[in-house]
């Protein structure tokens, strides 16, 4: 064992490790730059060099530079004025809730509803349940819907028809049971005429 240790010390240069003579020949190696075994056992495992952690940068108690401007919450009047100016420019879109489904629409779009709306063909209607309104630089989100004074989405009933035939056939072998049924779904086609918004 002693010959192995001598060869290991010679291989490493003889400065990195040594035997701990206080405990005995069978003890573990100890780096030569460590404190002797007579030191406090808690202190011998403490780091001599403290490295700054990532968390310490966010928990710093030093006072910030007063020359930097403080970013406070935006003023409501400023936000309303900016959004109002953006509403008059560009094309807007809206998410409307009609007949149990949501549709993302813009001016001139056609939407197909799987329902028979109580309105005649050519009649102009207003879609009151508007969940969201957006443009190039702004988005208005309802909670859950936008108020009727804020947004107005108008549409025209273009067509009322039925869907293609759906065949439902049920058969049980060796039971002389067969059921045949045809179903149709009422459809309504709407064209979005305009999307208008106004903030107060």
Q: What is the pLDDT of residues 147-175, one digit of tens each?
A: 999 899 999 999 999 999 999 999 999 99
Write down the domain spans for the chain: 76-197
| pLDDT score of 186 more than 70 | yes
Position 15 pLDDT exceeds 60: no
DSSP letter string, 140-181:
EE-SSS--TTTEEEEEEEEEEEE---EEEEEEETTTTEEEEE
Please tell me whether residue 179 adopts helix, strand or coil conformation: strand
Helix (H, G, I), strand (E, B) or coil at 134: strand
How much is the average pLDDT of 102-109?
A: 96
């Amino acid at each position: 064992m002693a010959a192995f240790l001598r060869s290991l010390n010679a291989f490493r240069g003889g400065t990195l490790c040594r035997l701990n003579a206080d405990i005995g020949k069978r003890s573990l190696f100890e780096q030569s730059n460590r404190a002797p075994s007579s030191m406090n056992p808690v202190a011998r495992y403490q780091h001599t060099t403290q490295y700054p952690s990532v968390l310490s940068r966010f928990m710093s108690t030093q006072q910030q530079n007063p020359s930097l401007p403080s970013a406070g919450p935006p003023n409501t009047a400023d936000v309303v004025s900016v959004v109002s100016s953006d509403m008059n420019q560009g094309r807007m879109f809206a998410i409307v809730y009609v007949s149990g489904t949501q549709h993302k629409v813009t001016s001139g779009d056609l939407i197909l509803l799987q329902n028979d709306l109580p309105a005649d063909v050519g009649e102009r209607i207003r879609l009151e349940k508007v969940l969201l309104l957006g443009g190039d630089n702004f988005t208005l989100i309802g909670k859950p819907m936008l108020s009727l004074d804020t947004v107005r989405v108008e549409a025209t009933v273009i067509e009322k028809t039925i869907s293609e035939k759906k065949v439902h056939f049920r058969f049980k072998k060796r039971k002389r049971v067969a059921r045949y049924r045809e179903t149709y779904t009422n459809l309504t086609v709407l064209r979005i005429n305009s999307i208008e918004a106004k903030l107060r």
